[in-house]
Chains A and B, each alone.
Chain A
Amino acid sequence: MPESTDPATPLLEVDDLKVSFATRDGVVRAVDGLSLSVGRQEVVGIVGESGSGKSVSMYSLLGLVRDANVTISGRVRFEGRDILGLPDEDLRVIRGRDVAMIFQDPMTALTPVYNVGWQIVEQIRAHEDVTKAQARARAVELLGEVGIPDPARRVDLYPHEFSGGMRQRVVIAMALSCHPRLLIADEPTTALDVTTQAQILELIKKLQATYGSSVVLITHDMGVISEMADRVVVMYAGRPVEVGDRREVIRQPRHPYTWGLLGAVPRVESKRNRLVTIPGTAVSPLNLPVGCAFAPRCAHRFEACDQRPDLHGQGAHLDACWLSDEQKVQIRARVAATGVTT
């Protein structure tokens, strides 16, 4: 039972989430203090490159991290109820029914030996007390809703008989079968062609409006964030470096990493002479710096950066950078004009 159905309470609240793995080479801190909240009917985008911890953070919310050497700390509340640290049998009720998750590669997401109808029915019957016939009828309806032609026939087909885009639709249909309040989508379109990606993103938007669910969209593509998200969380080295309203973060980014990320993307709309590059390579999660994680690669670092910055700022737009507001505005203008981060 949700402790709070009050619309003002955020649907999901994550507080200082830390996920680390004990490996032979040392402790890998995959997520190092993530805090975010997701409101009702909101789309929150989490953007970052590989190693940023964006996927691991969401997996750990639902208890999907099965590594025996993992340590998870922090606080996660879903509809007001603490879910981090719940035993698996309680989490299972939430997984698939209240919070659904879809993953990146549709080609391997479904069990190959059962037809898609069977798999959708399995999810429905795991959470609701309905007959097989009822569940199957609902499966056919769902397939139609996600745009699969001739759903009454296709419900008996096997996953390999669908194309990549169609498979992702099946996965979405299955995820939404129990009307979850929150959908977590981990790079749902990265493995798809551009035209298919457009269809899937449109579908997610449409379903979000129909069912009124919230979405956490994990991606590396700023363009996707720009089209889909209401708010953005930019992650680097397991830490959030900038958070805010989508428009503000994209139009007035405040963190050097965000500048680099936005500047590095070659755009369809206009041609830049040279792409902005972030010097160096991604930080190793085995050796996170004591201070700001981005400092080793940052052209604007100074003494204060030896101390780890927390998210701060006015209003809803926060960033984790010690530079003063004026400095940020200046540098940002310079970067935009010349296309160079230094």
Chain B
Amino acid sequence: MTMFIIRRFTSAVLVMFAISVLTFLIFFATPGVDPAARIAGRSATPQIVAQVKHEFGLDRALPIRYALMMDHLFIKRDLASYVNIGDPVVPQITAAAPVTISLVLGAAVIWLIVGVLGGVIAAANRGKFVDPLIMFLGIAAVSIPAYWLGEVVNLITQGGLHSSIFRWVPSSGYVAPTQSLTQWALHLLFPWLTLAALYSGIYARVLRAELVNALNEDYVRTARAKGLSERRILMRHALRCSLVSIVSLFGLDFGALIGGAALLTEVVFGLPGVGQLTYNALQNLDLPVIMGTVLYGAFFIVLANAVVDVLYGFLDPRVRVA
């Protein structure tokens, strides 16, 4: 098992390396694009462009350029945006990260609870009215784009009903938990619910399908022949065997979201997380920031994949032998 973990994480490191090279090549080796001009930004003077050229070794060989870029990004950590002149990239990301983490963690707790409950209730009552109802709600949730839902929520909580029912909802923005825990939670409440809505739908549907499959398996037939109650069979046998797919799904979703995939939710609710940072950088074509956030996001996705693979081994004893 330990060998497996070591090998898995080694390959994760190799994948990260490959991604960094690929990202670098996309940004700096695309023919026809002058990377110096890009980095320097739209309003750069020729001196700044020349400075950029020198700093990033753009007149030198490709591997050296790559090495210099990585050096600026990770070691010296002084890769600076030329759009907001001199603003270093890495601190921007590290400042934005806690916001995204807060958003994703809270939403994850909610969507896991709602999704699993929904899936279990639907499977336990398959064929009855509750089942298609939950599935319909699930698909509705999946189909609604986060930004639209977010805006509608905002409209209601910040607009029309702000003075009456939703008086307690603070205006959009983020408050660090170190400042005030209640404010932190209140500011994040509706973003949590909005982000969780989409994922609850997916998880409820996936879990229901897995559970119904599991309930048709031979081992469930054996469990029934043993005289166990349907409830026990559902919770202890079917659910336990369906968990694997939910866990792996969760790992991947969580990793992607931490990496900044909750972009639109952050923007709609004015949360200064990594997603919003990426969004703004894309709008301004702020190349260094984009590079930074892309690598940041990729890192979490790769990490999440590796963790999920290892978790598989713990959850499904058959995998350990293979």
Which residues of A approach B to under 8 Å, CB–CB? 62, 64, 68, 88-89, 92-97, 100-103, 105, 108-114, 122-123, 126-127, 158, 160-161, 171, 174-175
Question: Chain B's nearest CB lies how many Å from the CB of A124?
Answer: 10
Does B14 lie at the interface of the complex (its beta carbon under 8 Å from any beta carbon of A)? no
Given the interface contacts A95-B226, A96-B225, does A105 sit within 8 Å of B218 by beta carbon? Answer: yes
Given the interface contacts A88-B230, A113-B241, does A62 sit within 8 Å of B225 by beta carbon? Answer: yes
Given contacts A112-B241, A126-B228, A160-B318, 10 further A-B contacts (CB under 8 A): A88-B230, A93-B227, A97-B227, A103-B218, A112-B316, A113-B317, A122-B226, A126-B226, A161-B321, A171-B222
Does B86 lie at the interface of the complex (its beta carbon under 8 Å from any beta carbon of A)? no
Question: Chain B's nearest CB lies how many Å from the CB of A235?
Answer: 21
Does B46 lie at the interface of the complex (its beta carbon under 8 Å from any beta carbon of A)? no
Does B240 lie at the interface of the complex (its beta carbon under 8 Å from any beta carbon of A)? yes
Number of residues on chain B facing chain A (CB within 8 A): 23
Q: Are B218 and A96 in contact (CB under 8 A)?
A: no
How many angstroms from the CA of A175 to the CA of B237 in the assembled complex? 18
Does B127 lie at the interface of the complex (its beta carbon under 8 Å from any beta carbon of A)? yes
Convert B210-236 into 0s and 1s, putting 1 for each residue whose CB lies closer than 8 angstroms to a CB of A: 000000011101111111111000001
Question: Nearest residue in B to A157 (C-beta to C-beta)?
Answer: B317
Given the interface contacts A113-B315, A158-B317, does A101 sit within 8 Å of B225 by beta carbon? Answer: yes
How many angstroms from the CA of A64 to the CA of B227 in the assembled complex? 10
Q: Are A92 and B228 in contact (CB under 8 A)?
A: yes
B contact residues around A158 at 8 Å (CB): 317-318
How many angstroms from the CA of A171 to the CA of B316 in the assembled complex? 21
Q: Are A127 and B227 in contact (CB under 8 A)?
A: yes
Question: Chain A's nearest CB lies how many Å from the CB of B203?
Answer: 20
A contact residues around B241 at 8 Å (CB): 111-113
Question: Chain B's nearest CB lies how many Å from the CB of A55?
Answer: 11
A contact residues around B317 at 8 Å (CB): 112-113, 158, 160
B contact residues around A112 at 8 Å (CB): 219, 241, 316-318
How many angstroms from the CA of A105 to the CA of B127 in the assembled complex? 28
Q: Are A108 and B219 in contact (CB under 8 A)?
A: yes
B contact residues around A127 at 8 Å (CB): 227
Q: Are A109 and B318 in contact (CB under 8 A)?
A: no
Question: Nearest residue in B to A88 (C-beta to C-beta)?
Answer: B230
How many angstroms from the CA of A20 to the CA of B92 in the assembled complex? 69
Question: Chain B's nearest CB lies how many Å from the CB of A61?
Answer: 11
Q: Are B227 and A108 in contact (CB under 8 A)?
A: no
B contact residues around A171 at 8 Å (CB): 222
A contact residues around B237 at 8 Å (CB): 111
Listed A/B pairs (25) with beta-carbon separation below 8 Å:
A64-B224, A88-B230, A92-B229, A93-B227, A95-B226, A96-B228, A101-B225, A103-B218, A103-B221, A103-B222, A103-B225, A108-B218, A109-B219, A109-B221, A110-B222, A111-B222, A111-B237, A112-B317, A113-B240, A113-B316, A113-B317, A122-B226, A126-B228, A158-B317, A160-B321
B contact residues around A160 at 8 Å (CB): 317-318, 321
How many angstroms from the CA of A112 to the CA of B222 in the assembled complex? 12
B contact residues around A62 at 8 Å (CB): 225
How many angstroms from the CA of A113 to the CA of B227 in the assembled complex? 19
B contact residues around A126 at 8 Å (CB): 226-228
A contact residues around B240 at 8 Å (CB): 111, 113-114
How many angstroms from the CA of A109 to the CA of B317 in the assembled complex? 16
Question: Chain A's nearest CB lies how many Å from the CB of B125?
Answer: 12
B contact residues around A97 at 8 Å (CB): 227
How many angstroms from the CA of A148 to the CA of B237 in the assembled complex? 25
**When A and B form their complex, which 8 residue pairs have the shortest distance between CB atoms, in order from nearest?**
A96-B227, A95-B227, A108-B218, A101-B225, A96-B226, A111-B219, A123-B226, A158-B317
B contact residues around A109 at 8 Å (CB): 218-219, 221-222
B contact residues around A122 at 8 Å (CB): 226, 228, 236
How many angstroms from the CA of A94 to the CA of B229 in the assembled complex? 12
A contact residues around B236 at 8 Å (CB): 122
A contact residues around B219 at 8 Å (CB): 108-112
A contact residues around B227 at 8 Å (CB): 92-97, 123, 126-127
Question: Nearest residue in B to A104 (C-beta to C-beta)?
Answer: B218
Question: Nearest residue in B to A160 (C-beta to C-beta)?
Answer: B318
Question: Nearest residue in A to B217 (C-beta to C-beta)?
Answer: A108
Question: Chain A's nearest CB lies how many Å from the CB of B156?
Answer: 42
How many angstroms from the CA of A97 to the CA of B228 in the assembled complex? 11
Interface-centre pick from B222, B224, B225, B229 (highest chain A CB count, 10 A): B225
Question: Chain A's nearest CB lies how many Å from the CB of B126?
Answer: 9
Given the interface contacts A158-B318, A160-B318, A160-B321, does A64 sit within 8 Å of B221 by beta carbon? Answer: yes
